[in-house]
Chains A and B, each alone.
Chain A
Amino acid sequence: MKNSSASSFDIMNYAVQIVFTLVCIYPFYYIFIYSVSDPQQALKGLILLPKQLTIVNYTHIFRLDNMLHSFIVSVLRTVIGTILTIACSTWFAYAVTKNELYLRKTIYRFLVITMYFNAGLIPWYLTMKELGLKNNFLLYVLPGAVVAYYVVLLKTFIEQLPQALEESAMIDGAGHLTIFTRVIFPLSMPIVATIAVFASVGQWNTWTDNYFLVSSDNLQTLQLILYNYLTDAQQIVNSSNLQDLNRGLATKISPESIRITITMVVTLPVMLVYPFLQRYFVKGIMLGAIKG
C-alpha cells in the first residue's frame, strides 16, 4: 500500500520535472534545428528534427553589415570588462582586509551601501553623458570595474586564507602589490574563477548601456544588432544586404533564418560557459545573503 503510493509519487514527480525541463530547453533546441536547416525547407515547418542539414545560415549571417564587427565588439567588451572587474574588485577586496588601511571600515561600507540604492535610469543616463562616456567604449567596462557584490565574496574568501603566508612574505620585505600578485591572487583562484564566469556572462548579456548611450555603428554589440533585427522587420526585408547575400545562392536565406541564427550565435557562448557556474551557485547565493 505504502509502496505503491510512494512509487506513484515518484512517477508524478519525475513527470513534472521532465515536462518543465523540456519547456525550458525546447525553445533553444528549436532555434538550433532551425539554424542548421535549409532556410526554404525550414519555412515549411519544423518540430523535432532539422531538414537538409546545412551551415549556410552561419556562413552567411557573418556577411551581413556590422555582424562580424559587433561580434568583435561583444567579445572585446566581455574580455576587457571581465579582466578589469577581476583586477579592480580583487585588489579592492584585498585592501579592505588589511587592518593598516586608513578608514578601512568606512571604505568597505562606502562600497557595500551601493548594493542597496540605485539613483534610477535618468540620473544614471545624465551622469554618463556628462562624463563624456556616450559613444565611448569605456562605458561598457568602467562602471562595472568595482562591483560591491563581488568584493563581498572576495573579501570573505581572502579572510579565510592562512595569515602565515602573508607574514612570511612581509618579513622578506615584500610590499602590498607583491603580496597581492604573488601570494593572495594565486590563492584566490577558485573564487576568482567563479566571478570571472559571472562577470563574463553578465558582460555578454548586457545591452541597455548600448541601447541608451551608443548611437555610432562602430560600438554596437551583438545583442543590440539582434534587437534591431527583431524589432525592425523592414531592416531585413528591404536591406540590400539580404539581396546581396542571396545573389548567386541556390537556396535563399529567409529573414526568419537570419533572426534565429543570430539568436543562436548570441546564446551559444552562454550555453558553453554557464554549466561551470553550477558548483558555485549555492555558495554565491548564500554568501550574498551576508551583509558586509
Chain B
Amino acid sequence: MHAQANPAVKVRKKRWNASRVTLFAMVIPFVILVFVFNYIPLFGWLYAFYDYKPGIPLSQTPFVGMKFFRLVLDDKDDLIRVLTNTLAMSFLSILASPLAVIFAILLNESKNKAFKKVVQTLTTLPNFISWIIVYSLASVIFSSGGLLNEILFKLHWIENATNVLGNQPATWWFQTAISVWKGLGFGSIIYLAAIAGIDPELYDAAKVDGAGRLQRIMAITVPGILPTFFVLTLLNIANILSSTSFEQNLVFYNSLVADKLETLDYFVYRTGIATGDVSFGTAVGIAKSIISIVLLFSINAVSKRVRGQSVF
C-alpha cells in the first residue's frame, strides 16, 4: 500500500506505534457493536439444549441435550404441514424465476432508450415498499369488498364476492404471484447487467451470418445469461427452507389460509415467540440453519463438478 521509499513514511515511523494503537482503539467499539448484534445471538442456540422457561436464568435451567430435537421429529403432523408449504412455495418461486430473465431480454430488446428507462424505474417500485404496504394494496384490490370484485360484478362475471386473501386452494399460487409482482423488476436488473457484458461483436457476426432477431436471442443472449441464472438458481435451492419471506407470511396470515400459508419460519415464530416455547422454536431454527448450510455446500460441490467453478 504505502511505498517505503517515500521519505515521509520514514518520519512517520517514529509516531507509528502511537498512531497504530489509536487507530485500533478507535475501531474496537465498532467491532464490539458487530459482536453484540451479530455474534451474541448465536449463543442463544444453547437454549435448544436446555428446558428454558422465560424468566428463569439459563444457569438454573436443566440441561436436556437433544430432547427438543427429538420433539421436533415427534411433532410430525405440524412439521410435515409446514415443510410441505415451505417446499411448495419455494418450488413455485424457482419455477417462476425464468420470468425475470425473459423480462430482462424484452427490456434489452426495446429500441427506445427512454421507454426502457421508464419501464425499469416503474417496475422496480414494488421492490422498495414494505410488506405491510403490499398487504394493504392486496387487501384494497383482492378482499371481498375490494376493487377486483367490484369490476367483476360490473362485468357480471360473478354472482358472489370472492375473497382471494382467504382462498385456501389458491394460497400457494397467489403468494407466488405476489412475490413475482414485488421482485420481478428488480430481479431483472442483474440479468440486464449480464447482457451488457456480452461482446457486441457476437451480435454483429450473427447478423452477418443472417441470423434473425429471435435466433440471435436464443443463440447469444440466452447462453450469455445462463451462468448468472445458474448461480442464482443454486442459491435459491440452498434457501429452499426460507423461500417466501417471513414478513410476507406474517402479513398475509389469517385463519382461512393458515394451513396452506404457514412456512417453517412462521412456525418457529409461532412456537417460540407467540406461545413462548423458546427451546423448541430454537431447535427448529437450528435444524433449518444446518440443513441450509449442508445444502449450500453440497450445491457448491455439485457446481464445481459440473461447471468447474464454485458458486462462492
Residues of A participating in the B interface, judged by any CB pair closer than 8 Å: 2, 5-6, 9-10, 13-14, 16-18, 20-21, 23-25, 27-28, 30-31, 34, 45, 47, 88, 91-92, 95-96, 98-103, 107, 110-111, 114, 117-127, 131, 142-143, 145-146, 163, 167, 170-171, 175-177, 201, 204-208, 211-212, 223-224, 226-227, 230, 256, 259-260, 263, 266-267, 270-271, 274-275, 277-278, 281-282, 285-286, 291
* B 7-34 binary contact with A (CB < 8 Å = 1; else 0): 0100110001001101110110011011
Contact residues in B for A119 (Cβ distance below 8 Å): 41-42, 44-45
| A143-B37, A175-B19, A227-B132 as given contacts; A167 in contact with B2, CB under 8 Å | yes
Q: Which residue of B34, B186, B212 has the most chain A CB atoms within 10 A of its CB atom?
A: B34
A24 touches B247 (CB 8 A): no
Q: Which 5 residue pairs are nearest across A and B when measured between Cβ atoms? A: A123-B44, A119-B41, A120-B285, A205-B130, A122-B272
Counting CB contacts under 8 A, is B236 at the interface? no
| A24-B181, A107-B31 as given contacts; A285 in contact with B125, CB under 8 Å | no
A17 touches B37 (CB 8 A): no
| A121-B273, A122-B278, A259-B136 as given contacts; A88 in contact with B115, CB under 8 Å | no
Partner of B110, one of A17, A98, A131: A17
Whole-angstrom distance between the Cβ of B295 and the nearest chain A Cβ: 13
A9 touches B192 (CB 8 A): no
B40 touches A24 (CB 8 A): no
B251 touches A227 (CB 8 A): yes
Partner of B20, one of A25, A28, A102: A102
Determine the distance from Cα of A285 to Cα of B124 in the docked complex, in whole angstroms: 14
Determine the distance from Cα of A101 to Cα of B26 in the docked complex, in whole angstroms: 10
Determine the distance from Cα of A281 to Cα of B41 in the docked complex, in whole angstroms: 31
Contact residues in A for B130 (Cβ distance below 8 Å): 204-207, 223, 266
Partner of B19, one of A100, A114, A207: A100
How many interface residues does chain B have, given as a range? 35 or more
Residues of B participating in the A interface, judged by any CB pair closer than 8 Å: 1-2, 6, 8, 11-12, 16, 19-20, 22-24, 26-27, 30-31, 33-45, 47, 103, 106-107, 109-111, 115, 117-126, 128-130, 132-133, 135-137, 139-141, 147, 150-151, 181, 184-186, 189-190, 192-193, 212-214, 246-247, 250-251, 265, 268-269, 272-273, 278, 281-282, 285-286, 288-289, 312
Determine the distance from Cα of A196 to Cα of B282 in the docked complex, in whole angstroms: 34
Query: Given contacts A100-B16, A207-B132, could you give 6 more A-B pairs where the C-beta distance is less than 8 Å?
Result: A28-B137, A127-B40, A145-B33, A163-B1, A266-B133, A278-B121
Partner of A126, one of B19, B120, B133, B278: B278
B125 touches A28 (CB 8 A): yes
B266: nearest residue on chain A (CB-CB)?
A121
Contact residues in B for A47 (Cβ distance below 8 Å): 151
Partner of B128, one of A21, A95, A201, A260: A201
Whole-angstrom distance between the Cβ of A177 and the nearest chain B Cβ: 7
Contact residues in A for B136 (Cβ distance below 8 Å): 31, 226, 230, 259-260, 263
Determine the distance from Cα of A110 to Cα of B37 in the docked complex, in whole angstroms: 13
Contact residues in B for A96 (Cβ distance below 8 Å): 27
Determine the distance from Cα of A142 to Cα of B130 in the docked complex, in whole angstroms: 21
Determine the distance from Cα of A201 to Cα of B212 in the docked complex, in whole angstroms: 43
Partner of B137, one of A31, A99, A223: A31
Contact residues in A for B125 (Cβ distance below 8 Å): 24-25, 28, 271, 274
| A30-B140, A270-B129 as given contacts; A9 in contact with B312, CB under 8 Å | no
A114 touches B38 (CB 8 A): yes
B20 touches A121 (CB 8 A): no
A123 touches B16 (CB 8 A): no
Contact residues in B for A117 (Cβ distance below 8 Å): 42, 289
Whole-angstrom distance between the Cβ of A65 and the nearest chain B Cβ: 19
A-B contact pairs, 26 of them (CB 8 A): A6-B213, A9-B213, A14-B110, A16-B106, A18-B119, A20-B103, A31-B137, A34-B140, A98-B23, A101-B20, A107-B31, A110-B31, A110-B34, A111-B34, A121-B281, A123-B42, A123-B44, A142-B33, A146-B34, A171-B8, A207-B132, A211-B250, A230-B135, A259-B140, A270-B128, A281-B189
B106 touches A13 (CB 8 A): yes
A96: nearest residue on chain B (CB-CB)?
B27
Partner of B44, one of A107, A127, A207: A127
A121 touches B269 (CB 8 A): yes
Contact residues in A for B39 (Cβ distance below 8 Å): 114
Contact residues in A for B181 (Cβ distance below 8 Å): 23-24
Contact residues in A for B8 (Cβ distance below 8 Å): 167, 170-171
B282 touches A122 (CB 8 A): yes
| A124-B41, A285-B193, A286-B193 as given contacts; A30 in contact with B30, CB under 8 Å | no
Whole-angstrom distance between the Cβ of B224 and the nearest chain A Cβ: 15
Contact residues in B for A170 (Cβ distance below 8 Å): 8, 12
A13 touches B123 (CB 8 A): no
A20 touches B47 (CB 8 A): no
B137 touches A27 (CB 8 A): yes
Determine the distance from Cα of A227 to Cα of B139 in the docked complex, in whole angstroms: 12
A120 touches B289 (CB 8 A): yes
A107 touches B23 (CB 8 A): no
Determine the distance from Cα of A214 to Cα of B107 in the docked complex, in whole angstroms: 44
Contact residues in B for A14 (Cβ distance below 8 Å): 110, 115
Determine the distance from Cα of A202 to Cα of B300 in the docked complex, in whole angstroms: 31
